[in-house]
Structure 1
């Protein structure tokens, strides 16, 4: 008998092992999907291995082996590399293997009992030689199809609808189905010679090509230093060798610009992969890579799992960005996966940023990565930076929204027909609705979070769980009709700017205005083409934009992130300010940046104002050393969640009993966290110098949690990015 060992679709901890099925009559290999019976259901799973056993061995099984219902794939969906990567991820991130396999695939291919069907298209082809007399048009249609061999039926009908249908009726032409494929555009390439390299760019390219001891590079290049051109030159060299290239960007908003640059350089043969594509489009792009129809992929985090088999270069632009960290199981970091795949393929991995993460820069400083520097802008000019202390401005009677200095600067740019970017990292109209009479704040009924007012929709929204409600007419606590809207969001800022500058054309870019497909691309294209004077938005406009006429960047509430109870708050503040500042003065016009802050003397703000990453790195590393946070120590987070707080406390107590016997690590907690989606949450943090030891300790808790069938959910996060 032939046996198949299958991981079933349920990403549940206690089902994280293979189930055995009879596979007689099937030709299966590792990485294929099959449909199998599971209890009363039929579900989908991945084949782990196949083996032949004797009838005597079959009789030793303590249960009756059920047969596989059907084979879904004729070829392995996951090649050997991706399968081993899934195993590695499951061990490193302490996650069910099936969840690791699922995160690698487009939804059309994920093992699921409701896996989406692949979209098919109707095609036509000649199925019989002509032995009848045809009209002139029918003969022309027949010869046209004979020349093309096969055509989309829709295209065939556009040219030959009536004669085409007659040919089908006569049995000379048949209709058949083919899997829908992505259409590659015909784009004219630009030659590299048109772009003259600067000395910094030449030096970096030479270092990457000549380096023998490192495969991972950290490129610290200031904003506007020409890092993208370096990426394209290195990509070109790999493509000439017949290799594949992966260009990663952190957010969808950056994808259109990178795609445009890449297609201008290499033509249409580029795959695009990000969360803004629908399931069919993702599948089509995935197949382009698998079938070797493209050599370059541009995409966000999930593109790191594309089915490459001859990878030569991985570029991770804005490597510091938190978007590269997956916030659901398995909680992987894209950088880890990129380095793993680079090592497997013996490919170069280039991590690039104007504000590298402290972990990456520390590794480069120690020689783990090769450090590359591009300290000069292409145009030779950094924007001038002014810090406005808002306490003093408001005390003088100026608006708490925009200071007079920023208003004057906006007016000046509008007069000169130049463009302005205004950054406020909070969407909505106001973040808090408070009763003047009793001080009651309207909270989300499902989360311990204040509801944000959205004036356009006239509703309150929770930015954590998405719940929305109408604005109550009276306070639920004191029943007075005395609401006051506190704080500032992008909607309110847009309204204020439009009142101050009624003739200005304003675009707002935040999570509320980019829900529609291609919204990011359309908004940025409109601004780039000069159809708007002011681009106003959240952090999605803070990085990657290269628009020549932007000469002023205004940052509102520039120190807001410092108020977070998180050890990364200063790093996130510096990153945001430095990246946003870099959008100004990238062309021939001199740039200016105005940062509005209530704590202007904080070192993160001062270092950003002087474009001084090294000073920030040194000061922040001192703080991290004193407090024992990464990169000096490793962190692993365990969060226990349930709608029943008693279940949470039970699981936490069981975990603490195990951890209390462990050595060489520090336990932080347990700490009660705010409620999210009606779930009570409690966190335990482990801190230590040995990452593998911490993983081993957490694995002990994880295994015991499964064995005792605890009711609370356990979420494990290696190197958590957010702790508040």
Structure 2
């Protein structure tokens, strides 16, 4: 090629043409460096006919500066990038950037210097050094990475190097990962499990696109089934991608994977050190990374020889990205499998309604595991009507739930209390003047966290110490915590059961794989009697001695009018209920609610999932909601409220009038102020036949907005705030 078209990683520039200098070998997908004014930019060589731009005469083309020593982005991945950008109305360059993952990985191999503890006794121990010694046990990395882990300055660690407490280690950036062994610890499967595993194994061998829904109750052994497909892919020299919705699930999954295959898989998520991301990316692109376990961003990595994709807990809403490129990793995983020509397994005990509809329509092949492995029984579920069985004054646990907790403690069994609300209380107010603590950046109340003695916004991260007096009226000792969070429930358990050993499991306390590993080890070794947690405890964990689950507030998820509120509540409670009775001992689930007549609560109480899905399906059909219709949101924001409102009205005033599309709004978003930006929303309800994305692009394309205005498009939205 003498002339190339580059997709550069700047949405404002988009596509540029360059000349290939003599002697440089370039192919489609090559990652190259090009001049742009006095700067240099990265770009991917793309097929000219697939990207339009203003033609530039040959004489004005500037030459490329060089090609990066990295494999080219494959044609299949380029087609996925195009599809994702088109479907989610996102800039092509923003989607393509996700395929690079680690810019440092593009520069080739070599060595680097990392540091680790020597084990030497310090002659002088400052508080900062003591904190670093505790935090860095078993860790290795650059000075900057270790400083972030230990929450100390670079200077503290450099001082520790000089004192002989840290030593330098030369590390090969491209050192190979130990190979996984498909025959390492082959499990004994039930007949149903073996039938499912055989179907997946045949699909891996066929090397053709085949989407599956693995629908199995909690504890049925879904992981063991798809592990056999992973083993077959390994035997055939193919790579495997397993997507998990939460980093907190990773630690438990790693243990199970290592037990089956002899080594841990390769991780990919945002918390990885830069050196780990670099090593993983090069192994993935080079084909030596066998099994990658990652968050949704792992989906766009340039696998050299992908043979299988698994989406575990496929119903999880965290697979939907809510900023940047607003894609749903579950759906994009199916499309990647289609472009690559390979099987994809969506595994869940509570599949999304859209997924169930595709299975019933025959688009996905549904594989059922209706019973628990090894003869374990599903737990008994009872509803506690808080209108009739109210907790004691100032408390949040009903008497029957308290009695059940005491009974399990006496028997030496474990209990789990679930409340999907972090912190101590969702609202703090002054009993004297009624002042409420609100985030200065968001239309949200500040949540009290008693363990850390702070008030925090869970939307923007704003924090402030809990004051001694009301900032409005100046009265001291007048602040009242309203409503319960998990910390408040933990305090109540400590009062009711002072001898019980408790563990608080939230994203605040389980913010690292190390913390998750410690919790799992304690629970498995029976060093915990009562687990109190948020949605982090609803899935993935297997504690044989856990026989009681208490849902503190089943109504919480039904608030707010969310399109999927009922489905989401059912999934969450069914998942957390599935933690009970997974061993030989029977399990019990007590659900506290003030609305036992609600369809979702009744379905949970009766164990009738099919009835719930049928009712939810009809409600969606009547409303023209997914999967029978399409939703899209347009979110307009600015630091200037009048500017945001003016832009939103301009969009609403030019809305297309089409028979198969209804535009609602603009209206202030439920979170009308978020991170200092005023927000307005328009909601589009369209029939399946509508050309939704094309219409939105033609509608918004001609409009111009002030620089401070952002207009974001969310196709198939999950968040309505």
TM-score by length of 2: 0.84
Residue pairs, 1:33-112, within 5 angstroms: 33-39=31-37, 41-48=39-46, 64-68=60-64, 70-71=65-66, 73-109=68-104
Residue pairs, 1:180-195, within 5 angstroms: 180-181=174-175, 183-184=177-178, 190-192=184-186, 195=187
Alpha-carbon distance, 1:540 to partner: 0.7
The equivalent of 1:199 in structure 2 is 191
The equivalent of 2:681 in structure 1 is 683
Alpha-carbon distance, 1:723 to partner: 1.1
Residue pairs, 1:430-509, within 5 angstroms: 430-481=425-476, 482-509=478-505
Alpha-carbon distance, 1:642 to partner: 0.8
Secondary structure at the counterpart of residue 391 of structure 1: coil
1:718 matches 2:715 = yes
1:120 matches 2:111 = yes
Distance verdict in 2 for CA 1:77–1:249, change over 3 Å = same
Alpha-carbon distance, 1:473 to partner: 3.7
Deviations 1:246-297 (A, max 9, x none): 2222111222222222222222273222233222212222333333334322
Residue pairs, 1:150-169, within 5 angstroms: none
Alpha-carbon distance, 1:95 to partner: 1.0
Secondary structure at the counterpart of residue 583 of structure 2: coil
Structure 2 distance, partners of 1:491, 1:59, is 67
1:401 matches 2:401 = no
Deviations 1:285-328 (A, max 9, x none): 23333333343222222222233233332221111100111112
Residue pairs, 1:599-618, within 5 angstroms: 599-618=595-614
User: Is the CA contact 1:431–1:486 (under 8 Å) kept in the aligned structure 2?
Assistant: yes
1:247 matches 2:242 = yes
The equivalent of 2:155 in structure 1 is none
Alpha-carbon distance, 1:118 to partner: 7.6
Task: Please say which of residues 581-590 and 277-286 is displaced more in the overlay.
Answer: 277-286
Secondary structure at the counterpart of residue 691 of structure 2: helix
Structure 2 distance, partners of 1:410, 1:119, is 57
Alpha-carbon distance, 1:480 to partner: 3.5
Structure 2 distance, partners of 1:415, 1:562, is 34
Alpha-carbon distance, 1:94 to partner: 1.1
Distance verdict in 2 for CA 1:519–1:188, change over 3 Å = farther
The equivalent of 2:280 in structure 1 is 285
Alpha-carbon distance, 1:109 to partner: 4.8
Distance verdict in 2 for CA 1:216–1:389, change over 3 Å = same
Alignment length (residue pairs): 654
Deviations 1:56-93 (A, max 9, x none): x97676xx54454x435123452222222212211111
Q: Give the greater-gyration-radius structure (CA).
A: 1
Structure 1 distance, partners of 2:521, 2:223, is 19
Task: Please say which of residues 532-541 and 511-520 is displaced more in the overlay.
Answer: 511-520
Alpha-carbon distance, 1:178 to partner: 4.5
The equivalent of 2:317 in structure 1 is 322
Aligned with residue 339 of structure 1, among 334, 343, 358 = 334
The equivalent of 1:533 in structure 2 is 529
Structure 1 distance, partners of 2:216, 2:180, is 33
The equivalent of 2:30 in structure 1 is 32
Structure 1 distance, partners of 2:705, 2:591, is 54
User: Is the CA contact 1:33–1:44 (under 8 Å) kept in the aligned structure 2?
Assistant: yes
Alpha-carbon distance, 1:182 to partner: 5.7
1:623 matches 2:619 = yes
User: Is the CA contact 1:578–1:611 (under 8 Å) kept in the aligned structure 2?
Assistant: no
User: Is the CA contact 1:108–1:117 (under 8 Å) kept in the aligned structure 2?
Assistant: no
Alpha-carbon distance, 1:35 to partner: 3.8
Task: Please say which of residues 518-527 and 554-563 is displaced more in the overlay.
Answer: 518-527
The equivalent of 1:702 in structure 2 is 700
Structure 1 distance, partners of 2:102, 2:427, is 37
Secondary structure at the counterpart of residue 518 of structure 1: helix
Secondary structure at the counterpart of residue 472 of structure 1: coil
Deviations 1:115-135 (A, max 9, x none): x99882479xxxxxxxxxxxx
Task: Please say which of residues 657-666 and 600-609 is displaced more in the overlay.
Answer: 657-666
Distance verdict in 2 for CA 1:510–1:269, change over 3 Å = closer
Structure 2 distance, partners of 1:188, 1:522, is 28
Secondary structure at the counterpart of residue 339 of structure 1: helix
Q: Return 5+ residue gaps in structure 2 as ranges.
A: 50-54, 115-168
The equivalent of 1:558 in structure 2 is 554
Deviations 1:434-484 (A, max 9, x none): 122332211100000000111122111000000011223443444444321
Secondary structure at the counterpart of residue 641 of structure 1: strand
Secondary structure at the counterpart of residue 27 of structure 1: coil
Distance verdict in 2 for CA 1:240–1:44, change over 3 Å = closer
Distance verdict in 2 for CA 1:110–1:703, change over 3 Å = farther
Distance verdict in 2 for CA 1:563–1:268, change over 3 Å = same
Secondary structure at the counterpart of residue 313 of structure 1: strand
Structure 2 distance, partners of 1:701, 1:410, is 58
Structure 1 distance, partners of 2:38, 2:386, is 65
Task: Please say which of residues 71-80 and 420-429 is displaced more in the overlay.
Answer: 71-80
1:20 matches 2:31 = no
Aligned with residue 642 of structure 2, among 646, 650, 667 = 646
User: Is the CA contact 2:180–2:290 (under 8 Å) kept in the aligned structure 1?
Assistant: no
Distance verdict in 2 for CA 1:687–1:27, change over 3 Å = same
Distance verdict in 2 for CA 1:335–1:59, change over 3 Å = closer
Deviations 1:116-157 (A, max 9, x none): 99882479xxxxxxxxxxxxxxxxxxxxxxxxxxxxxxxxxx
Alpha-carbon distance, 1:206 to partner: 4.4
Alpha-carbon distance, 1:514 to partner: 2.1
